[in-house]
Amino acid sequence: MALPYRWQLRLDRLKKSVGGIFGMGGGEQQPRPKICPACGSLVGISATRCHECGTNLTFSIAALSKHLAGLTGLNAPVSTFFLGLNFFMFIVQIMFTMQAGEAGGLNLLWRMNGISSYKLGALYGPSVFLDHQWWRLITAMFLHGGLIHIGFNMLTLIQLGPTLEELYGSSRFLFVYTFTGAFGFLLSAWRGHFSLGASGALLGIIGAILAVTTKRGGAYMRALRSQLLSSLAFLFILGIWGGIGIDNWAHGGGLAAGFALGKIFADREPQGQAEKRRAQILGWLSGLVILASFVLMLLHFRDPVN
């Protein structure tokens, strides 16, 4: 059975990438000028930096986003990466839950093993403030409490993540997601909660989109703002009176942080050399914080649980 056209394109790109790595690209192809992934300027064949905006053509968020977009066929590589990382960590949680003998019946729908989730980096207020395990503000964003939990969150990420990423660019989106999720969990930790999930970061995305609707007129923006506010009101009311473990502190913190960033950032991709450089710095810092947090989680994975 023939592959769909889109998948044929992806496989062709993958073959070319692999062939280039192992020197199998063929000798008949002549080197061609490059296009800067950040500003779109045409640069020389052997150039390593763009002469217009100064972007590194191989080692930058813009270059990485372009490579990932080429392989996946998507214009939102960071959203795609977060989607994959969340599902990967959930599979790891399921394995530990099964190992603990707690995966029977319908448990996987709404409950993961608490000890393994803690070891994998779930948020716990005393551990953050007393034991200085600050990485939990980040790692907790990629853990979930069950199939229903991750299902709703990933549907929200699929619906809203690419929209904001295409508006802000991948670097800024990476920063918004990381900062708002961490800020929400900081408030939750201050309240002494045990918490996990991508909801704080997702509320950050919603907050940023809300800020955009306040800066733009028109019937569509008013309708979108009204719809988002109605959904948020229902979510917070459910968290207050529903008794189902919704972390309103993480949600509220992420929403507020996202709204503030949405007011600060321009409603477009970065323009100009200085603005693009600032966005890339924010993106790289966010990526390094995520990487360092997971490294610290692994280093402390075997620490005894008190």
Active site residues per annotation: 199, 251
**Structure token pair of residue 246:** 């919704």
Alpha-carbon torsion angle 270, 274, 279, 280, nearest 10? 120
**Structure token pair of residue 250:** 């993480």
Q: What angle do CA 292, 148, 122 make, to 5 degrees?
A: 25
Q: Are 126 and 191 in contact (CB under 8 A)?
A: no
10 Å CB burial of residue 86 (0-12, 13-18, 19+) is: buried
User: Alpha-carbon distance 174 to 78, whole Å?
Assistant: 7
Residues in the chain: 306
User: Alpha-carbon distance 133 to 117, whole Å?
Assistant: 15
**What is the tally of helices (H) and strands (E) in the chain?**
13, 4
User: Alpha-carbon distance 183 to 141, whole Å?
Assistant: 11
Q: Are 47 and 33 in contact (CB under 8 A)?
A: no
